[in-house]
């Protein structure tokens, strides 16, 4: 069933409708493939439901062209032209903070850009700028110590209104997992790269 039936109904004084409409914090983590793909699938559902979508990519190089970006931008343009779905706002934060370091930037500069990106997300959450946020690969600047985990958990916990947030990336901090409503760990069983095969167009990007 699309809405599902929870196995336990908590005695929290809330109605079924109130629980169903509560803002969701989701985390997709683990070493397996598909974390970002699953988040963008949720974003497409949100768009179809008329929820304003904001995407913030943290470690994808700004020069990389990913299929999800093309698809989501096309949905945003469809909304502008025909009023279908909802607006889509896509940001590659700074120059992209890949584990592949760029020769023209230091780690300090990357960390500063990551913090600036989080500051912008904080502002948007406070202003309730979007209904659905994808913070793609956001766990990495948290794991590297570039962004304070406690601050992130507090800001997300205190966010006003009904703003859904999905965070992706490996090694999600325990504090973030504890704060989340939905946590999915992608477990790698087998991957073509284990056999020396590089990523393929249409599969990896």
Record the pTM: 0.87
Instruction: Kindly state whether residue 82 falls inside one of the protein's structural domains.
Output: yes
Q: Where residue 108 sits, what CATH number does that domain have?
A: 3.40.50.300
* Total structural domains within the chain: 1
Instruction: Kindly state whether residue 111 falls inside one of the protein's structural domains.
Output: yes
Instruction: Kindly state whether residue 63 falls inside one of the protein's structural domains.
Output: yes
Per-residue pLDDT of the chain in tens (205 residues, 90 and over written 9): 456 677 777 777 777 776 777 899 999 999 999 999 999 999 999 999 999 999 999 875 555 667 888 999 999 999 999 999 999 999 886 554 443 444 455 677 778 888 999 999 999 999 999 999 999 999 999 999 999 999 999 999 999 999 999 999 999 999 999 999 999 999 988 988 888 888 777 777 7
Instruction: Kindly state whether residue 175 falls inside one of the protein's structural domains.
Output: yes
1-34 burial string, b = 16+ CB within 10 Å, else e? eeeeeeeeeeeeeeeeeeeeeeeebbbbbbebee
Instruction: Kindly state whether residue 10 falls inside one of the protein's structural domains.
Output: no
Instruction: Kindly state whether residue 204 falls inside one of the protein's structural domains.
Output: no
Instruction: Kindly state whether residue 13 falls inside one of the protein's structural domains.
Output: no
Tokens in use for 18? 């109130």
Instruction: Kindly state whether residue 11 falls inside one of the protein's structural domains.
Output: no
Which range marks the domain in which residue 62 is found? 18-189
């Amino acid at each position: 069933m699309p809405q599902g039936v929870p196995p336990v109904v908590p005695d929290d004084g809330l109605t079924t409708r109130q629980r169903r409409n509560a803002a969701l914090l989701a985390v997709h983590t683990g070493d397996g493939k598909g974390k970002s793909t699953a988040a963008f699938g949720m974003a497409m559902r949100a768009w179809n439901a008329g929820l304003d979508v904001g995407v913030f990519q943290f470690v994808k190089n700004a020069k990389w062209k990913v299929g999800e970006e093309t698809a989501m931008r096309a949905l945003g343009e469809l909304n502008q032209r025909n009023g279908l779905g909802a607006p889509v706002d896509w940001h590659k934060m700074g120059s992209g903070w890949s584990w592949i370091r760029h020769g023209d930037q230091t780690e300090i500069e990357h960390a500063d850009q990551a913090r600036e990106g989080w500051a912008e997300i904080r502002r948007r959450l406070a202003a309730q700028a979007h209904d659905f946020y994808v913070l793609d690969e956001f766990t990495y600047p948290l794991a590297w110590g570039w962004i304070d985990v406690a601050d992130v958990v507090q800001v997300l916990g205190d966010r006003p209104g009904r703003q859904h947030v999905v965070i992706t990336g490996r090694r999600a901090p325990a504090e973030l997992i504890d704060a989340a409503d939905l946590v999915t760990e992608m477990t790698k069983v087998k991957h073509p790269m284990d056999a020396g095969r590089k990523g393929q167009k249409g599969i990896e990007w």
